[in-house]
Amino acid sequence: MGKKLLMKGNEALAEAAIRAGVKGYFGYPITPQSELLEYMATNLDSRGGVFVQAESEVAAINMVYGASGTGVRVMTSTSSPGFSLMQEGISYMACAELPCLLVNVVRGGPGLGTIQPSQGDYFQAVKGGGHGDYKLIVLAPNSVQEMADFVYLGFDLTDKYRNPVLILTDGALGQMMESVEFPEYNPEEHLVDHSSWTTVGRENGREQHYITSLHLLSEKMEEINIHLQDKYKTIQKNETRFESIMTEDADILIVAFGLSSRSSQKALELAREQGLKVGILRPITLFPFPSDELKRLANSVKGILVVEMNAGQMVEDVRLSVGSNIPVDFYGRMGGMIPQPDEIVQKIKDLSKQVKI
């Protein structure tokens, strides 16, 4: 590990991307993500990559598509309204199996909404977002350190599966400063040989490479869909990641990701001081979702509380995972508000009463 630096989440993510060997960054400014783009504008050209400020998010994602076709590491970053604009291009990339790293520093919606932090884009991130049957691999950091760490992981996963990877974070994690250490990482040791499909000019009379998401024959299109679904199953099997905090003896299980898992951790400390046995399951990958671990924990806890910065989105996946045998309660704040630890403690107490602890 290198030395400790104090950085904003947005800056740490950008620095990690440069260290991970990103060769192309294409984006359009939007709060609360702009420091990321600014960092790239200042640093990427002199450190071996290309920075382009596109004329819109639609243009940016299509530049990502084009650059990815050359097989180098490429990325874009934006915030909620901008991410909505990118959905068409992302669906194309998922179908064409193009690797790329996407970053959504989520702000409160719907609409132009607010520039304050939110997790209101969960559904959009894990259920497709654009048209057609596709999945992104979705990583949810909860600290500035993970904002950096998940960039390396994200690039490795997108190269491995030829599937777009999304880092789903929020305005607070983007804007806050914590100390961060960048790991030793030599991109050369991680790069995957993409030469079997990249469009970089034909040599030696090799077969033509053709990257497209348009397949007018239904038989062919179904074949591609089956292949994609198989790939998603493999990803589910191999790449599900989560963090368990004090779940062994827990009566109440909090399920929370990203920033709300940090508030929940404080709530856990406060509740444990009052003798309430609380644990946390934090999904790190939102797709693939840690359903099996949740199912396992549902056998030992008495109630589940899902905490999110939205009207209740991940809670649906929690309910799908654990069924109806156990009470699943929800606490959320919306529109840029953040669940406060003392509010979560109150919900824990309410749920404890309900399940007679």
Partner 1 sequence: MNEELIVAGFGGQGVLSMGMTLAYAGMVEDKYVAWIPSYGPEMRGGTANCTVIVSDTNVSSPIISSYDTAIVLNQPSLEKFEPKVKPGGILIYESNNVLNPPTRKDIDIYAIPAAIEAAKLGNKKTMNMIILGAFLAKRPLVSVKSIMEGLSKVLPERNHHLLPVNKKALKHGMELIK
> Which residues are near partner 1 by CB under 8 A?
4, 6, 31-32, 114-116, 171-172, 175-179, 259, 262-266, 268-269, 338-343
Q: In what order do the strands lie in the sheet with 303-308?
A: 242-245, 278-283, 252-255, 303-308, 328-332
Q: How far is the CB of 30 from partner 1 (least distance, A)?
A: 12
Asked whether 70 and 198 are in contact (CB, 8 A), the reply is: yes
Q: How far is the CB of 266 from partner 1 (least distance, A)?
A: 4
Alpha carbon distance 59, 27 (integer Å): 8
Alpha carbon distance 72, 197 (integer Å): 12
Distances in whole angstroms, Cα of residue 253 to Cα of each of 122, 265, 350: 20, 11, 13
- Beta carbon nearer to partner 1, 5 or 54: 5
Angle at 62 between CA 61 and CA 65, to 5 degrees: 90
Angle at 213 between CA 210 and CA 217, to 5 degrees: 95
- Beta carbon nearer to partner 1, 115 or 224: 115
5, HSE (Cβ side, Cα atoms, 13 Å): 16
Q: How far is the CB of 108 from partner 1 (least distance, A)?
A: 11
| Cβ burial, residue 236 (10 Å; 0-12/13-18/19+) | middle
- Beta carbon nearer to partner 1, 97 or 170: 170
Nearest alpha carbon to residue 174 among 265, 125, 81, 106: 106
Give, as one character, the DSSP assignment of residue 111: T
Tokens of 215: 């397949």
Q: How far is the CB of 144 from partner 1 (least distance, A)?
A: 8
Q: How far is the CB of 342 from partner 1 (least distance, A)?
A: 5
Q: How far is the CB of 160 from partner 1 (least distance, A)?
A: 31
- Beta carbon nearer to partner 1, 213 or 264: 264
Longest dimension (CA), the chain: 74
- Beta carbon nearer to partner 1, 135 or 333: 333
Q: How far is the CB of 350 from partner 1 (least distance, A)?
A: 17
- Beta carbon nearer to partner 1, 179 or 300: 179
Q: How far is the CB of 203 from partner 1 (least distance, A)?
A: 49
Tokens of 54: 């596109």
Q: How far is the CB of 267 from partner 1 (least distance, A)?
A: 8
Alpha carbon distance 55, 100 (integer Å): 20
Q: Which amino acid would we find at residue 259?
A: L
- Beta carbon nearer to partner 1, 157 or 172: 172
- Beta carbon nearer to partner 1, 99 or 108: 108
Query: What is the residue whose two structure tokens read 């030469």?
Result: 195
- Beta carbon nearer to partner 1, 68 or 116: 116
Asked whether 294 and 254 are in contact (CB, 8 A), the reply is: no
